[in-house]
Amino acid sequence: MKAFIIDRYGRKNGIRTGDMPMPEPREDDVLIQIHAAGVNPVDSKIRDGEFKLILPYRLPLILGNDLAGVVVRVGSRARRFKPGDEIYARPQKDHIGTFAEFIAVKEDAVALKPASLTMEEAASIPLVGLTAWQALIEKGQLKRGQKVLIHAGSGGVGTFAIQLAKHVGATVATTTSARNIELVKRLGADIVIDYKKDDFSSILKDYDVVLDTQGGNALEKSLRVLKPGGKLIGIAGPPDPDFAKEMGASWFLKTVMRFLSYRIRKAAKRHGVSYSFLFMRADGGQLSQIAKLIDAGAIKPVIDQVFPFESTKEALTYVETGRVKGKVVIKIQ
């Protein structure tokens, strides 16, 4: 089958197209013919080797972290799906590879795709949808009447998270550039801050939850907008000891993560709030709940551009500009 592959870590090595063996589904897998795949900033980070300590992939590696497609075969113990089912999924983090014609995925990571969406629209959802759901609903426990700040509201995670937070009934503030203000307002943002012009930490206060997608200076400043007991959830790092425990990290890695997150955890404690790191996990059950919200019209996909399969390299380069509104998708079938 055709696929886009990395042979070595590092930006300069890039990705190449090549032939790879057809995946063989294990007993609890479904074999999927991929029709479309989402392109995400995490794909570049994996290519560059940023996660090789916590995700030790075997090379050569097929990149790609979310998909929509059709089930063509099921493993001997797989019971939830049958050939012909239209599905969408985020594969387990240690079994990625959606920039390809086929993939075998554990059936508990898969859900029937939203009926109202095309394959390309559905492929834009899994990674950002699960990230927003696990940050706001699971970790943040966001409730009606609460206030949430979502950084980078025009990005993939941001466009989904704004709509999810509004569905819950929260007041939503977001940061973006001037050219995307109308977009985030249309998605439901109540307060929009032009990050190039204004400092969000001097405008916002008494927030219940912050979803940080930026890291660095924005992460530290976010502590100031939270009220006592508030929650800062970061997806750009640094990883914390709880994450190390979740992933069953070695003693060495646990020590490294404790050290990397020490400063932000200490600062959070000083402000009377909490900091936690989220590395989203695959979850077909949550994707099923997300599909219901989408089919009910509560959330709509935001797609910047669809690239043909042969232009996957160009799609990745475009995502790396950081100017994408919503998601970039590649059309495979």
What fold, for 127-277? Rossmann fold (3.40.50)
Average pLDDT over residues 160-186: 98
**Position 179 pLDDT exceeds 90:** yes
In terms of Cα–Cα distance, which of 331, 322, 289 is closest to 167? 289
Contacts of 317 (CB under 8 A, 6+ apart): none
| Alpha carbon distance 299, 276 (integer Å) | 26
In the prediction, which pLDDT does 130 show? 98
- Please state, for a pLDDT cut of 70, what percent of the chain lies above it: 100
**Model pLDDT for residues 145-161, shown as the tens digit of each residue:** 999 999 999 999 999 99
Q: For residue 244, how many other CB atoms are within 10 A of its CB?
A: 22
Distance CA 321, CA 147 (A): 30
Q: What does DSSP say about strands 171-176 and 191-194: parallel, antiparallel, or unpaired? A: parallel
In the chain, ranges of CATH 3.40.50.720 domains: 127-277
E strand intervals along the chain? 2-6, 16-19, 29-39, 61-62, 66-74, 86-89, 102-106, 110-112, 147-150, 171-176, 191-194, 207-212, 226-234, 274-277, 303-308, 327-331
Residue 102 Cα distances to 3, 15, 71, 72, 314, angstroms: 9, 18, 10, 9, 21
Asked if pLDDT for residue 249 goes beyond 90, the answer is no
Q: What percent of the chain has pLDDT over 90?
A: 91
CATH 3.90.180.10 placement within the chain: 2-124+301-331
Q: Which residues contact 87 (CB under 8 A, 6 or more apart)?
A: 30, 32, 68, 69, 70, 71, 81, 110, 111, 112, 113
Instruction: Give yes or no for residue 11 having a pLDDT over 90.
Output: no
* Helix or strand holding residue 269 (H, E): helix 262-271
Q: pLDDT at position 53, please?
A: 81
pLDDT tier, 247 (very low <50, low <70, confident <90, very high otherwise) = confident
Tell how far CA 191 is from the center of its chain.
23
Q: Could you tell me if 170 and 154 are in contact, meaning their C-beta atoms sit under 8 angstroms apart?
A: no
Query: Greater confidence, 231 or 215?
Result: 231
pLDDT value of residue 52:
85
Q: Does 2-124+301-331 carry CATH code 3.90.180.10?
A: yes
Q: Is the pLDDT of residue 199 over 90?
A: yes
Q: Band of the pLDDT at 16, cuts 50, 70, 90?
A: very high
Burial environment of residue 321 by CB neighbours within 10 A (0 to 12, 13 to 18, 19 or more): exposed
| Average per-residue pLDDT for the chain | 96
Sorting pLDDT into bands at 50, 70 and 90, what band is 187?
Answer: very high
What pLDDT shows up at residue 333? 86
pLDDT digits (tens, 9 = 90+) for 47-77: 999 988 888 899 999 999 999 999 999 999 9
Return the number of other C-beta atoms located less than 10 Å from residue 177's C-beta.
Answer: 14
Give dist(CA 124, CA 251) in Å, integer. Answer: 36
**pLDDT at position 141:** 98
Within its chain, how far is the Cα of 213 from the centroid? 10
pLDDT confidence of residue 271:
96
How far apart CA 323 and CA 28 sit, in angstroms, is 39
pTM metric for this prediction:
0.97
Mean pLDDT of all residues in 289-300: 98
